[in-house]
Amino acid sequence: MRPGLFVLSATVGLSISVFSLSALAAGEKREDDGKWLTPDDTITYNVKEDGAVDWYTYNGFRRYHSECHVCHGPDGMGSTYAPALIDSIKNLDYYDFAEVVMSGRERKLADGSSSIMPAFGDNKNVSCYGEDIYAYLLARADGAIERGRPRKRDAKPEGAKETESACH
């Protein structure tokens, strides 16, 4: 199992092809040790007919709510302080998402004020699980999972245990 691209993309600036929404729309994804990937090896999610989510999407829910919801609201819905990530994710491929989360971003607003997303590259609760957070937000944005903790999930794969151990 390869280490999470989230950490690698931010630290060594990998140049990788852009996430393909058409591939997701066509349902073309594959499973690799519990991780669901698009044809270009970008993380995605899987929700079974009984509502069970893959481990990585479930873990993304957990990590999002431990670090991101304070500003971006529960379930990616946004707040008066920060935008709804379930809207933003529709316009960001995984690699742009990783860049913003790892390095931060400042935007000047029309009224002269600034909007600042702090960098989380040094926060292992985020940097080690960026793919998981992305998969969770993507599933929320697509309406594949509802608000709240997913009721069912797959077991934690060995690859997830190994990646987590290597990151920490």
Q: Residue 94's domain spans which residues?
A: 5-167
Residue 126 pLDDT: 95
Counting the structural domains of the chain, the total is: 1
Residue 80 pLDDT: 86
Whole-angstrom Cα distance, residue 55 to residue 59?
Answer: 6
Residue 148 C-alpha from the chain's centroid: 16
Q: What are phi and psi of 116, to 5 degrees?
A: -120, 125
pTM of the model: 0.81
Q: What percent of the chain has pLDDT over 70?
A: 84
